[in-house]
C-alpha cells in the first residue's frame, strides 16, 4: 500500500456548486482507475473527477455549503487528508449578478397591505435599519465571523443573535454616519410600536378597515351558509362527498378497468418477453432442424428442460409437451438417419451423440454399429449381385467371341474385386472407428456391455468372412487363362486391391482373427495366381506337340535338338518369373513365401506333360511307314526316297530321324534343360523342386530307353532279317574245291547297312550315336552266331575257310562297335566253324583280310569315325 | 476529517498579489509542485498549503493565490485581512503591472494598517530579459523606497522562486517572534522604518 493521498492545493478555494476545482497534492492515484473516491466538503464528486496526474485532479464541486476538507481516496493509498479547505456557498441571483438563467428584474409590487408569503422559511424580515444592504460582493468572510462570534448567529430571529455579526455581515462597509441614521430609524420604529393602539391603528388604518370589511363579509357568508345548509352542514357535506365519490368511481371505473386490462396485457407481454426463449423454442427447433443445427437444438432442449422441466404452469407444460413431441420426432429422424446408410462416420457419431444427449432409450451406438455391419454385408452382397448379374447378362448375349467374353469377364471380376475391396476397407474402417469410439465410451453413452465386445468381434469376422467368401468366389473360381500379359496385369491389380484392403485393415489395428482371414484370401489368391501361371505353362507345354517342326535348331554335344527343350525352358522360366514377380513375395504381415507344395506339384505336371509330349511325338508315325528299303539298298536308294517324299523330308526327315531327335531332345532336356530350370528356381529363390526334377529325369531317361528300344526294334530287326536271305542267296554251300578269296556279299551288306545306321544316328545324335550302332551290331552278331549255329556242323574246308573269313572280316569291320556280348557272339560263331589248319589257308586269310582292309578303308573309316571307343 | 498532529508547525499565511497575468499562480505552482503551467487560466482564489523546513525549523506555509483581474478587486480587502505576508508580483515585461504594485502596496497597508507587514516585491519573467521593459534600477528603487527586498524571479526556469518565498517566510517568522525591529537587515531601513512606525502608533 502506497502513501495516502494528501491534498495541498485547491483552485479556486471557494465557489458555488458546480465550480470546476483543480485539486493538487501528492499521491492522488497512480492512474485514473486508481482514484476511487473524491469528496469535497463531504459531497461525493468522484463522478466528475478527472484524474490528470498523481499531483492533479480536476473535479466539480457538489452542492455543499461551508468549509470542508477535500478527501481523495485511492486504491493504492487509501483515504487521504487535505491541508487546504474548500468553501462552498450558494449564490443568490440578483439583478446585478451574472446568471445563466433569466431573472425577472421587476420586483414584485410590495404593497403595504399585500399578502406576505406565509412560509416561515422564506420569510425575511425587512431591513431593520432601513439601510440598503450591500451587494453580495462585499461579503465579510464567514469564517472570520465564526471566529469572532463562536456562539453567535447573524439571523434576526435566532436566539443567539449577535448584533455585531449582523452588522458585519450586512453593513461592514457602511459608514458610521449611515449606521447612526439606521439606528435612529430603528429607534423610531420601536417607539412607534410602543405608542399604543391608537397610533398603531393610525399607522395601519388601511389594514384594519380591510380586516373589518372582511369580517363582515365572512359573517354574512357564514349566516347565508347556515341558512342554506342548516345547522349541521356536515351531513350534507358527507352525502355530497359520498356522491362525489360515487361519481368519481363511476367516472373512473371504466378507466380503471381499462388500466387493469392494460396492466394485464403488459404483464403478459413482459412474461412473453421474459420467456421468449421458451415460446420461440418450438419454431426455433424447427428452424434449426431444417438448418441441421442439431447441436443448437440439443442445447436449447437441455436448457429448457433445466429451466422449465418441473414447471407447474399449464402453458409452459403445453409448450414443453409440444417441444417434447418435436424432440421425439427429431430423435426418430436422427435415429433413422443414423441407421440409414451410406453415411459418414463423423456424421453418424454426431447423430449418436445427439441421440445420447437427447436420452435415446436404446443403445444408439450399438444400433449404429449393427446397422453399419449390415450395410457392409449388404454392400458386399450388392457388389457381388451386381457383377453376377452383369455376368449373366453377358453370358446371355450371344454372338460374342469367346475370347472377348472371357476378357470382359476377367475385367469384370477385377472390377468386382476392386469394388469389394474398396467397400470393405472403407466400411470396415468406418465400422471400426465407430466401434472404437463406442467401446472407449467416447460417444458419451453408457459403458458398453461386456458381451458387446465378443458380439462386435463376431460382426467383424462375419463381415470379413463374407468378403473373403466373395473374393474367393470372384477370384479363385476364375475361368480360362487369357493372354499372359492381361492375366498378369489383372492378377497384379487384384492383388493390389486385396493388399490395399488388407493394409487398411492393418492400419485399423484389428484383432488378428479377421486379419488372418483376409490374409488367407490373399494367400490363396497368390497360390491361385501361381497355379494359373503354371497351368498356363502346362497348357503351353501340352501344345508343344503342335509346335514341333522337327527342324534342328542346334547341334549340341548330346546331338541335334529341336526347339522343344528351349521352349520348355522358356515356358517354365516365364511362369516362374511371373510367379516371382506377381505373387511370390508377400506383403506386410503376410506369410513371406508361398507353400512350395503346389509349385512343385505343378512343376512336376509340366515336366510330365513335356515327357508325354516327347513320347507322343516320338511314337507318332501315322501315315509314315517304316522305310526298310533304305536300309537294304543303302545310300543311292535313300536319295531316291528323299526325292520322292520331299515334303516329309522338309518337315523333319524320316520317322526314324524324328525318333532319334526325340531321344536327343529327351536327353538334352534331362541333362541341360532340367538343370537350367533348377537354376531358374534358384534364381527366383524358390525351393528346388527336387522331387519333380528327379521324377522328370527318370521318366525322360526311361523315355530315352524306350525310344532307343523302339529304334532298335524298327531298325535292327529288318537289318537282321536281311542277313539270312542274303546269306543264303549266295548259297551257303560252297564247292569244296572252289577257292574262296572273298566273303560273301551279305557281309558287305551288313557293313553297308551298319554304315547307313551309323550315318543316320550320327547325323542326329552325334557322339551318342555309337550306342545305337553298338546295339545293332550286337543283334547282328547274335544273328550271325545263330545262323552259324544253324549251319551244318561239318563243313568242307573251303566253306569253313569262308565262314572264318567272313566272321573275321565282320569283326574287323565293326571292331570299334563291338560290345563284350557281340564279341562273344562272334567268338561263338567262330567256334562253330572248324579252325583253319593249313598254314597256307592262314596266310591266305591274312592276305585277304589285309586286302579287305585296304579295299574297304573308306567304308571302315566312315563306320568308325566319330565313335567313342568302348 | 484530517487529524491534526499534536504539535502543529507554525503557519504562515502568504498572499500573492499583483496584476493579472504577471505569474502569481505560476510562481505558486512552481514553488509548490515544481511545475510550470504554460496555459493561462485566470485565477479566482486558490489556496495551497505546504510544509517547508526553514533554517532547521519546520513551518507550514499557506499560500492564497488571489485574482489579479480588476473584476475581483472588491473582494481583495477580505483576503488581505487574513494575510500575514505578501508577495507583490509584477512582470518585468509589463510596466503597467509594475505601476499597479503601488496600488496594491497602498491597499495592503491600508487593510493591514501595518507598515512593517512582511512584504516582498517580485519582478517575474526574468527569463524574458530581451523583452524587459521595466528597468532593474527602477524596481530596486521602488523596493528601496518601500524598504522591502526585491527579487527577480522566473517561474518558467524556477530561478529565485524558492528564494522569494523563503525570504518572505523568514521575514514573517521574525515578525511573529517579535524580533522584527531588532533584526531588521538593513540599518538604514530600520532607521527609516522607525519614524513611520512611530507616526502610525
Domains of chain B: 10-177 (3.40.50.300)
B8 interaction partners in chain A (CB closer than 8 Å): none
* DSSP 8-class letter at A122: T
Q: Could you confirm whether domain A6-88 is CATH 2.60.40.10?
A: yes
- Choosing among A4, A6, A8, which should be mutated to test the B contact, i.e. which has the most B CBs within 10 A? A8
Give me chain B's average pLDDT, please.
82
Within an 8 Å CB–CB cutoff, is residue A83 touching chain B? Answer: yes
- Looking at residue A796, its pLDDT comes to 66
B82 interaction partners in chain A (CB closer than 8 Å): 141, 144
Q: In which residue are the cell numbers 359520498 written? A: A242
- The structure's pTM equals 0.44
Q: Is A144 close to B81, i.e. CB distance below 8 A? A: yes
Q: Is A82 close to B82, i.e. CB distance below 8 A? A: no
- Looking at residue A759, its pLDDT comes to 74
Q: Which residue of B has its CA nearest to A83?
A: B49
How far apart CA A242 and CA A534 sit, in angstroms, is 127
How far apart CA A237 and CA A228 sit, in angstroms, is 12
pLDDT tier, B121 (very low <50, low <70, confident <90, very high otherwise): very high
Report the pLDDT averaged over residues A743-748: 72
Q: Is B47 close to A82, i.e. CB distance below 8 A? A: no
Digit-coded pLDDT (tens) for A104-132: 555 554 444 444 444 444 445 556 676 66
- Looking at residue A205, its pLDDT comes to 84
Task: Kindly state the cell numbers that stand for A264.
Answer: 394485464
A13 interaction partners in chain B (CB closer than 8 Å): 45-47, 64
- Looking at residue A550, its pLDDT comes to 67
Of A37-51, A401-415, A856-870, which one has max mean pLDDT?
A37-51
How crowded is residue A306: how many other Cβ atoms within 10 Å of its Cβ? 9
Report the percentage of chain B scoring pLDDT > 70: 85
Which neighbouring-strand residues pair with B16?
B65, B87
Report the percentage of chain A scoring pLDDT > 70: 72
List where CATH 1.10.357 sits in chain A: 531-716
pLDDT tier, B137 (very low <50, low <70, confident <90, very high otherwise): very high
How far apart CA A290 and CA B96 sit, in angstroms, is 88
A15 interaction partners in chain B (CB closer than 8 Å): 44
Chain A residues 108-137 with CB within 8 Å of chain B? 137
Report the pLDDT averaged over residues A538-556: 70
Digit-coded pLDDT (tens) for A275-292: 777 777 778 878 877 877
**Contact between residue B28 and residue B46 where contact means Cβ atoms under 8 Å apart:** yes
More confident residue, A447 or B17: B17
- Looking at residue A641, its pLDDT comes to 40
Closest approach of A44 to chain B, Cα-based (Å)? 14
pLDDT at A455 over 70: yes
B74 interaction partners in chain A (CB closer than 8 Å): 137-138
- Looking at residue B57, its pLDDT comes to 86
pLDDT at A261 over 70: yes
More confident residue, B58 or A146: B58
Among A21-30, A311-320, A543-552, B104-113, which stretch is predicted with the lowest mean pLDDT?
A543-552
Digit-coded pLDDT (tens) for A193-227: 666 667 777 777 888 889 999 999 999 998 888 88
- Looking at residue A565, its pLDDT comes to 74
Within an 8 Å CB–CB cutoff, is residue B50 touching chain A? Answer: yes
More confident residue, B196 or A220: A220
Q: Is A81 close to B2, i.e. CB distance below 8 A? A: yes
Report the pLDDT averaged over residues A123-143: 60
Radius of gyration for chain B, computed over Cα atoms and rounded to the nearest angstrom: 16
pLDDT tier, A304 (very low <50, low <70, confident <90, very high otherwise): confident
The CA distances from residue A37 to A54, A67, A75, in Å, are 14, 19, 9
Task: Kindly state the cell numbers that stand for A685.
Answer: 529363390
**Contact between residue A24 and residue A55 where contact means Cβ atoms under 8 Å apart:** yes
Digit-coded pLDDT (tens) for A839-858: 777 777 778 778 877 777 77
Closest approach of B48 to chain A, Cα-based (Å)? 4
More confident residue, B183 or A772: A772
| Beta-carbon contacts of residue A679 (< 8 Å; ≥ 6 apart) | none
Report the percentage of chain A scoring pLDDT > 90: 3
The CA distances from residue A611 to A681, A826, A834, A858, B181, in Å, are 20, 38, 52, 40, 158
| Beta-carbon contacts of residue B188 (< 8 Å; ≥ 6 apart) | none
Closest approach of A144 to chain B, Cα-based (Å)? 9
Give me chain A's average pLDDT, please.
73
Dihedral over Cα of A276, A281, A287, A288: its sign? positive
The shortest CB-CB distance from A13 to any of B25, B29, B47 is to: B47
The helix or strand, by DSSP H or E, that contains position A369, with its residue range, turns out to be: helix A364-396
The shortest CB-CB distance from A84 to any of B3, B35, B47 is to: B47
**Contact between residue A494 and residue A562 where contact means Cβ atoms under 8 Å apart:** no
**Contact between residue B147 and residue B189 where contact means Cβ atoms under 8 Å apart:** yes
Report the pLDDT averaged over residues B171-187: 65
Chain A / chain B CB contacts < 8 angstroms: 67
- Looking at residue A559, its pLDDT comes to 67
Within an 8 Å CB–CB cutoff, is residue B7 touching chain A? Answer: no
Report the pLDDT averaged over residues A795-814: 72
Q: Is B74 close to A84, i.e. CB distance below 8 A? A: no
**Contact between residue A323 and residue A282 where contact means Cβ atoms under 8 Å apart:** yes
Closest approach of A108 to chain B, Cα-based (Å)? 29
Q: Which residue of B has its CA nearest to A56?
A: B33
pLDDT tier, A402 (very low <50, low <70, confident <90, very high otherwise): low
The shortest CB-CB distance from A13 to any of B3, B35, B46 is to: B46
Chain B residues 19-48 with CB within 8 Å of chain A? 25, 29, 32-33, 35, 43-48
More confident residue, A190 or B162: B162
Among A478-492, A615-629, A643-657, which stretch is predicted with the lowest mean pLDDT?
A643-657
A144 interaction partners in chain B (CB closer than 8 Å): 81-82
The shortest CB-CB distance from B32 to any of A24, A138, A139 is to: A24
Closest approach of B186 to chain A, Cα-based (Å)? 35
Among A15-29, A704-718, B16-30, B184-198, which stretch is predicted with the lowest mean pLDDT?
B184-198
Closest approach of B168 to chain A, Cα-based (Å)? 20
- Looking at residue A650, its pLDDT comes to 39
Report the pLDDT averaged over residues A676-684: 76
- Looking at residue B68, its pLDDT comes to 82
Of A341-350, A707-716, A796-805, B50-59, which one has max mean pLDDT?
B50-59
- Looking at residue A361, its pLDDT comes to 67
How far apart CA A696 and CA A607 sit, in angstroms, is 6
**Contact between residue A475 and residue A415 where contact means Cβ atoms under 8 Å apart:** no
Within an 8 Å CB–CB cutoff, is residue A12 touching chain B? Answer: yes
pLDDT tier, A654 (very low <50, low <70, confident <90, very high otherwise): low
pLDDT at B149 over 90: yes
- Looking at residue A525, its pLDDT comes to 74
Q: Which residue of A has its CA nearest to B3?
A: A81
Task: Kindly state the cell numbers that stand for A55.
Answer: 499531483
How crowded is residue A666: how many other Cβ atoms within 10 Å of its Cβ? 29
pLDDT tier, B164 (very low <50, low <70, confident <90, very high otherwise): very high
The shortest CB-CB distance from B43 to any of A11, A55, A139 is to: A11
Q: Is B160 left (phi over 0), alpha (psi -120 to 50) or beta?
A: left
- Looking at residue B48, its pLDDT comes to 92
How crowded is residue A765: how many other Cβ atoms within 10 Å of its Cβ? 23
Nearest Cα to Cα of residue A504 among A618, A587, A563, A441: A587
pLDDT at A504 over 50: yes
Within an 8 Å CB–CB cutoff, is residue B64 touching chain A? Answer: yes
Which top CATH class is A531-716?
mainly alpha
Within an 8 Å CB–CB cutoff, is residue B66 touching chain A? Answer: no
Within an 8 Å CB–CB cutoff, is residue A37 touching chain B? Answer: no
How far apart CA A745 and CA B46 sit, in angstroms, is 173
- Looking at residue B119, its pLDDT comes to 93
Within an 8 Å CB–CB cutoff, is residue A24 touching chain B? Answer: yes
| Beta-carbon contacts of residue A795 (< 8 Å; ≥ 6 apart) | A803, A833, A834
Within an 8 Å CB–CB cutoff, is residue B74 touching chain A? Answer: yes
Digit-coded pLDDT (tens) for A483-497: 566 667 777 777 777
- Looking at residue A94, its pLDDT comes to 62
pLDDT tier, B2 (very low <50, low <70, confident <90, very high otherwise): very low
* DSSP 8-class letter at B14: E
**Contact between residue B48 and residue B65 where contact means Cβ atoms under 8 Å apart:** yes
Q: Is A10 close to B48, i.e. CB distance below 8 A? A: yes
Within an 8 Å CB–CB cutoff, is residue A18 touching chain B? Answer: no
Of A263-267, A579-583, A585-589, which one has max mean pLDDT?
A263-267
- Looking at residue A449, its pLDDT comes to 63
Closest approach of A274 to chain B, Cα-based (Å)? 49
Closest approach of B50 to chain A, Cα-based (Å)? 6
A12 interaction partners in chain B (CB closer than 8 Å): 43-46
List where CATH 2.60.40.10 sits in chain A: 6-88
More confident residue, B13 or A666: B13
- Looking at residue B17, its pLDDT comes to 92
3-state secondary structure B26-67: HHHHHHHHCCCCCCCCCCCEEEEEEEEEECCEEEEEEEEEEC
| Beta-carbon contacts of residue A729 (< 8 Å; ≥ 6 apart) | A745, A746
pLDDT at B47 over 80: yes
- Looking at residue A506, its pLDDT comes to 74
- Looking at residue B144, its pLDDT comes to 92
Of A150-154, A185-189, B45-49, B67-71, which one has max mean pLDDT?
B45-49
The shortest CB-CB distance from A24 to any of B33, B75, B81 is to: B33
* DSSP 8-class letter at B159: B
The helix or strand, by DSSP H or E, that contains position A274, with its residue range, turns out to be: helix A233-274
- Looking at residue A866, its pLDDT comes to 57
pLDDT tier, B64 (very low <50, low <70, confident <90, very high otherwise): very high
How far apart CA A867 and CA A818 sit, in angstroms, is 12
More confident residue, A324 or A544: A324
Digit-coded pLDDT (tens) for A388-401: 777 777 666 655 55
The shortest CB-CB distance from B46 to any of A11, A85, A140 is to: A11
Amino acid at each position: 500500500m502506497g502513501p495516502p493521498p494528501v491534498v495541498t492545493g485547491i483552485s479556486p478555494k471557494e465557489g458555488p456548486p458546480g465550480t470546476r476545482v483543480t485539486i493538487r497534492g501528492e499521491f492522488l492515484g497512480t492512474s485514473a482507475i486508481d482514484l476511487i473516491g473524491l469528496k469535497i466538503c463531504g459531497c461525493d464528486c468522484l463522478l466528475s473527477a478527472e484524474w490528470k496526474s498523481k499531483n492533479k485532479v480536476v473535479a466539480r464541486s457538489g452542492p455543499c455549503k461551508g468549509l470542508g476538507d477535500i478527501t481523495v481516496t485511492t486504491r493504492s493509498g487509501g483515504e487521504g487528508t487535505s491541508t487546504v479547505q474548500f468553501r462552498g456557498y450558494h449564490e443568490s441571483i440578483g439583478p446585478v449578478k451574472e446568471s445563466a438563467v433569466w431573472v425577472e428584474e421587476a420586483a414584485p409590487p410590495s404593497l403595504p397591505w399585500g399578502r406576505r408569503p406565509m412560509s416561515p422559511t422564506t420569510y425575511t424580515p425587512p431591513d431593520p435599519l432601513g439601510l440598503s444592504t450591500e451587494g453580495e460582493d462585499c461579503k465579510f468572510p464567514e469564517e472570520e465571523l465564526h471566529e469572532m462570534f463562536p456562539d453567535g448567529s447573524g439571523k434576526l430571529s435566532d436566539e443567539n443573535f449577535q448584533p455585531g455579526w449582523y452588522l458585519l455581515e450586512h453593513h461592514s462597509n457602511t459608514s458610521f454616519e449611515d449606521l447612526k441614521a439606521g439606528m435612529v430609524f430603528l429607534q423610531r420604529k420601536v417607539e412607534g410600536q410602543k405608542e399604543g393602539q391608537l397610533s398603531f391603528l393610525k399607522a395601519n388604518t388601511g389594514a384594519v378597515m380591510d380586516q373589518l370589511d372582511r369580517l363582515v363579509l365572512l359573517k354574512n357568508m357564514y349566516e347565508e351558509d347556515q341558512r342554506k345548509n342548516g345547522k349541521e352542514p356536515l351531513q350534507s357535506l358527507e352525502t355530497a362527498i359520498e356522491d362525489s365519490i360515487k361519481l368519481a368511481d363511476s367516472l373512473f371505473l371504466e378507466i380503471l378497468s381499462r388500466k387493469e386490462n392494460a396492466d394485464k396485457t403488459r404483464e403478459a407481454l413482459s412474461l412473453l418477453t421474459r420467456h421468449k426463449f421458451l415460446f420461440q423454442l418450438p419454431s426455433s427447433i424447427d428452424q434449426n432442424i431444417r438448418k441441421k443445427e442439431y447441436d443448437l437444438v440439443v442445447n436449447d432442449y437441455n436448457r429448457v428442460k433445466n429451466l422449465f422441466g418441473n414447471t407447474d404452469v399449464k402453458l409452459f407444460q403445453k409448450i414443453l409437451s409440444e417441444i417434447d413431441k418435436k424432440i421425439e420426432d427429431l430423435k426418430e429422424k436422427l435415429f433413422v438417419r443414423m441407421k440409414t446408410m451410406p453415411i459418414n462416420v463423423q456424421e453418424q457419431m454426431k447423430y449418436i451423440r445427439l441421440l445420447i444427449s437427447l436420452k435415446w432409450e436404446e443403445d444408439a451406438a450399438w444400433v449404429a454399429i449393427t446397422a453399419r455391419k449390415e450395410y457392409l454385408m449388404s454392400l458386399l452382397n450388392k457388389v457381388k449381385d451386381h457383377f453376377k448379374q452383369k455376368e449373366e447378362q453377358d453370358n446371355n448375349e450371344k454372338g460374342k467371341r469367346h475370347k472377348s467374353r472371357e476378357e470382359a469377364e476377367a475385367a469384370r471380376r477385377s472390377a468386382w474385386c476392386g469394388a469389394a475391396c474398396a467397400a470393405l476397407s472403407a466400411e470396415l474402417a468406418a465400422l471400426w472407428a465407430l466401434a472404437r469410439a463406442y467401446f472407449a465410451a467416447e460417444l458419451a453413452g453408457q459403458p458398453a456391455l461386456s458381451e458387446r465386445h465378443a458380439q462386435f468381434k463376431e460382426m467383424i469376422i462375419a463381415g470379413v468372412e463374407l468378403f473373403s467368401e466373395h473374393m474367393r468366389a470372384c477370384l479363385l473360381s476364375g475361368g480360362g487363362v487369357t493372354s499372359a500379359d492381361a492375366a498378369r496385369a489383372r492378377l497384379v491389380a487384384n492383388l493390389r486391391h486385396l493388399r490395399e484392403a488388407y493394409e487398411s485393415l492393418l492400419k485399423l489395428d484389428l484383432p488378428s482373427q479377421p486379419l488372418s482371414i483376409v490374409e488367407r484370401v490373399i494367400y490363396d489368391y497368390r497360390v491361385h495366381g501361381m497355379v494359373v501361371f503354371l497351368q498356363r505353362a502346362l497348357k503351353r507345354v501340352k501344345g508343344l506337340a503342335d509346335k514341333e517342326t522337327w527342324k534342328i535348331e542346334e547341334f549340341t554335344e548330346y546331338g541335334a535338338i529341336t526347339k522343344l527343350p528351349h521352349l520348355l525352358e522358356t515356358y517354365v522360366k516365364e511362369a516362374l518369373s511371373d510367379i516371382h514377380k506377381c505373387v511370390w513375395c508377400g506383403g506386410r504381415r503376410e506369410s513371406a513365401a508361398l507353400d512350395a507344395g503346389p509349385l512343385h506339384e505343378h512343376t512336376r505336371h509340366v515336366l510330365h506333360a513335356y515327357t508325354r509330349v516327347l513320347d507322343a511325338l516320338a511314337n507318332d508315325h501315322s501315315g509314315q511307314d517304316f522305310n526298310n528299303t533304305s536300309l537294304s539298298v543303302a545310300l543311292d536308294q535313300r536319295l531316291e526316297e528323299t526325292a520322292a517324299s520331299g515334303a516329309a523330308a522338309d518337315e523333319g526327315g524320316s520317322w526314324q530321324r524324328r525318333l532319334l531327335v526325340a531321344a536327343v531332345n529327351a536327353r538334352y532336356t534331362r541333362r541341360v534343360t532340367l538343370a537350367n530350370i533348377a537354376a531358374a528356381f534358384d534364381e527366383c529363390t524358390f525351393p528346388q523342386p527336387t522331387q519333380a526334377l528327379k521324377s522328370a529325369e527318370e521318366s525322360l531317361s526311361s523315355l530315352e530307353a524306350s525310344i532307343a528300344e523302339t529304334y532298335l526294334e524298327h531298325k535292327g530287326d529288318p537289318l537282321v532279317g536281311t542277313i539270312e536271305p542274303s546269306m543264303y542267296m549266295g548259297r551257303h554251300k560252297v564247292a569244296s574245291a572252289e577257292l574262296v578269296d572273298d566273303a560273301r556279299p551279305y557281309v558287305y551288306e551288313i557293313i553297308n547297312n551298319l554304315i547307313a545306321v551309323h550315318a543316320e544316328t550320327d547325323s542326329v545324335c552325334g557322339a551318342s550315336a555309337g550306342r545305337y550302332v553298338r546295339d545293332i551290331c550286337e543283334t547282328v552278331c547274335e544273328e550271325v552266331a545263330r545262323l552259324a549255329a544253324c549251319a551244318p556242323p561239318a563243313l568242307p574246308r573251303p566253306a569253313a575257310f569262308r565262314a572264318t573269313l567272313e566272321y573275321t572280316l565282320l569283326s574287323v569291320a565293326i571292331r570299334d562297335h563291338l560290345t563284350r556280348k557281340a564279341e562273344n557272339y562272334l567268338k561263338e560263331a567262330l567256334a562253330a566253324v572248324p579252325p583253319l589248319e593249313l598254314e597256307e589257308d592262314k596266310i591266305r586269310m591274312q592276305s585277304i583280310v589285309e586286302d579287305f582292309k585296304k579295299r574297304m578303308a573308306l567304308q571302315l573309316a566312315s563306320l568308325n569315325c566319330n565313335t567313342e571307343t568302348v | 476529517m484530517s487529524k491534526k498532529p499534536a504539535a502543529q508547525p507554525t503557519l504562515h499565511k502568504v498572499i500573492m498579489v499583483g496584476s493579472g497575468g504577471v505569474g502569481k499562480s505560476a510562481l505558486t505552482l512552481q514553488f509548490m509542485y515544481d511545475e510550470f503551467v504554460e496555459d493561462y487560466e485566470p485565477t479566482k482564489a486558490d489556496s495551497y498549503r505546504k510544509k517547508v523546513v526553514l533554517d532547521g525549523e519546520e513551518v507550514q506555509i499557506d499560500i492564497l493565490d488571489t485574482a489579479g483581474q480588476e473584476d475581483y478587486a472588491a473582494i481583495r480587502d477580505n483576503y488581505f485581512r487574513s494575510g500575514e505576508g505578501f508577495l507583490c508580483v509584477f512582470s518585468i515585461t509589463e510596466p503597467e503591472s509594475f505601476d499597479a504594485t503601488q496600488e496594491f502596496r497602498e491597499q495592503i497597508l491600508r487593510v493591514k494598517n501595518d507598515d512593517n507587514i512582511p512584504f516582498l516585491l517580485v519582478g517575474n519573467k526574468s527569463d524574458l530579459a530581451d523583452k524587459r521593459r521595466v528597468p532593474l534600477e527602477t524596481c530596486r528603487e521602488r523596493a528601496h523606497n518601500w524598504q522591502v527586498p526585491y527579487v527577480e524571479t522566473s517561474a518558467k526556469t524556477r530561478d529565485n522562486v524558492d528564494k522569494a518565498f523563503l525570504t518572505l517566510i523568514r521575514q514573517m517568522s521574525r515578525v511573529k517572534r517579535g524580533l522584527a525591529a531588532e533584526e531588521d537587515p538593513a540599518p538604514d531601513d530600520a532607521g527609516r522604518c522607525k519614524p513611520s512606525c512611530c507616526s502610525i502608533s
